[in-house]
């Protein structure tokens, strides 16, 4: 049974997944430069370390009305068959490993007349109580509608129109569409030529600063700087970053079996799809209180043939960080902590400590050697 990791993100309140193997990096949405004669859904481009990256608006690609962007929106850089594009999403949530058997390729809606298959969906995945729509990257990037088909974006309320060969069909819906939203030929949404025209001066400055930083990173990378994708987690109210390179998956904690005669750092064992996963608490090594109020989330890591579940209070986000952005470890930190940290960085006006998890697990006395 094949199991693939998917990066999960939210868009318009729905959960979507894209194969992690095609994700190159993630960052908060910067200011975009409009591009002339680009497809309707390509709303601009950015200078990403010396390369121009086109950026796609998923709302427009899926046929919805254009919506204002927010400072909390993110851009996911996708590479598919040597082509790179950024896609704008509302929020990146986590990485999930989804088995093939949990994926339904297509849904049947019981219609007498079958409709065309979903254009941009590779399938629907069952993950606990959630249903995640999996993106077909080949179609997302390459698909172009037949020229005889005219598509009109959905309204914000979810109702929409369709048109074929210039004939509109309202499907018995009473709709009110602002004529200013549509171009003269009633085929495409008028594309704003100014990025976030309704943003405040402060918001515009932040968008512009993000674009500036992405452009400057090209000079830093000439000195062979390393890029990190980090999972931002919470332990006792403090923020930490864990390198995604060692993360196998995120999981909910359920039915923990205590292991007798083991140190306090060993929380217990959990059955993870037939694999016995040992849950460990790294708080003691970091000189933090080991008083865990609830067992809810764990990050499954694999380092040097060691597989363990790191217990965390919360998994906040996945972010992209250039090593050049790492600050030195404050001298005020306990000396026993410093060797397990790579540095610190700023995340949403808070300081996160980036863990050297490999050293912490192999040399911090957290390695699980007991046999059950």
> Which structural domains are found in the chain, ordered by start?
3-144+193-214 (2.40.50.180), 227-363 (2.40.50.180)
Q: The whole model's pTM is what?
A: 0.58
Closest CA to 245 of 231, 234, 233: 231
In this structure, the chain runs to a length of: 372
Distance of alpha carbon 298 from alpha carbon 248, whole angstroms: 11
Distance of alpha carbon 85 from alpha carbon 134, whole angstroms: 17
pLDDT band at 114 (very low <50, low <70, confident <90, very high): low
**167 has a pLDDT exceeding 80:** no
Q: How far is CA 324 from the centre of its chain?
A: 22
Cα distances (Å, whole numbers) of residue 272 to 31, 129, 207, 277: 42, 17, 41, 6
**185 has a pLDDT exceeding 70:** no
Cα distances (Å, whole numbers) of residue 367 to 246, 262, 310: 15, 12, 11
The CB density around residue 236, as the number of other CB atoms within 10 Å, is 13
CA neighbours closer than 13 Å in the CB half-sphere of residue 319: 21
Cα distances (Å, whole numbers) of residue 34 to 95, 180, 208, 213: 31, 20, 14, 19
pLDDT band at 336 (very low <50, low <70, confident <90, very high): low
Please give the pLDDT value at position 111.
Answer: 72
CB 284 within 8 A of CB 291: no
Average pLDDT, the chain: 77
The CB density around residue 363, as the number of other CB atoms within 10 Å, is 13
The angle at the Cα of 23, spanning 19 to 24, to the nearest 5 degrees, equals 160
Structure tokens at 25: 């990096």
Mean pLDDT confidence for 253-276: 84
Residue 75: which H helix or E strand, with range? strand 74-80
Structure tokens at 36: 């002339």
Closest CA to 244 of 84, 21, 55, 87: 21
Q: How many helices (H) and strands (E) does the chain have?
A: 5, 24
**Which of the residue ranges 63-67, 238-242, 283-287, 329-333 would you say has the lowest mean pLDDT?**
329-333
pLDDT band at 52 (very low <50, low <70, confident <90, very high): very high
**277 has a pLDDT exceeding 80:** yes
Placement of tokens 């079958």 in the chain: 114
DSSP for residue 332: T
DSSP for residue 156: T
How do strand 23-28 and strand 74-80 relate by DSSP bridges? antiparallel
Q: Is 215 left (phi over 0), alpha (psi -120 to 50) or beta?
A: alpha
The CB density around residue 80, as the number of other CB atoms within 10 Å, is 15
């Amino acid at each position: 049974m094949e199991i693939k990791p998917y990066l999960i993100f939210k868009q318009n309140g729905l959960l979507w997944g894209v194969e992690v193997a095609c994700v190159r990096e993630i960052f908060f949405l910067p200011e975009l430069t409009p591009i002339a004669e680009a497809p309707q859904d390509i709303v601009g481009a950015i200078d990403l370390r010396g390369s121009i990256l086109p950026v796609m608006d998923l709302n427009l690609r899926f046929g919805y009305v254009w919506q204002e962007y927010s400072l909390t929106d993110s851009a996911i850089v996708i590479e598919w068959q040597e082509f790179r594009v950024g896609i704008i999403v509302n929020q990146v949530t986590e990485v999930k490993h989804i088995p093939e058997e949990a994926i339904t390729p297509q849904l049947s809606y019981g219609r007498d007349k079958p409709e065309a298959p979903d254009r941009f969906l590779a399938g629907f995945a069952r993950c606990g109580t959630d249903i995640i729509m999996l993106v077909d990257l080949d179609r997302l990037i390459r698909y172009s509608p037949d020229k005889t088909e005219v598509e009109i974006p959905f309204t914000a309320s979810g109702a929409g129109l369709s048109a074929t060969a210039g004939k509109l069909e309202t499907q018995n819906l009473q709709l009110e569409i602002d004529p200013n939203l549509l171009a003269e030929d009633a085929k495409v949404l008028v594309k704003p030529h100014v990025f976030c025209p309704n943003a405040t001066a402060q918001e515009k400055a932040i968008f512009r600063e993000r674009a500036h930083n992405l452009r400057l990173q090209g000079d830093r990378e000439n000195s062979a700087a390393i890029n990190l994708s980090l999972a931002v987690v919470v332990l006792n109210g403090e923020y930490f970053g864990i390198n995604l390179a060692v993360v196998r998956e995120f999981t909910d904690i359920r039915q923990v079996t205590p292991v007798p005669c083991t140190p306090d750092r060993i929380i217990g064992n959990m059955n993870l799809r037939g694999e016995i996963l040992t849950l460990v608490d790294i708080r003691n090594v970091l000189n933090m209180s080991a008083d865990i109020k609830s067992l809810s989330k764990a990050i499954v890591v694999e380092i040097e043939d060691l597989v363990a579940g790191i217990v965390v209070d919360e998994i906040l986000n996945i972010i992209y960080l250039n090593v050049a952005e790492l600050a030195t470890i404050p001298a005020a930190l306990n000396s026993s902590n410093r060797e397990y940290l790579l540095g610190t960085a700023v995340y949403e006006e808070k300081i996160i400590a980036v863990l050297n998890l490999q050293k912490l697990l192999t040399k911090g006395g957290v390695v699980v050697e007991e046999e059950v």
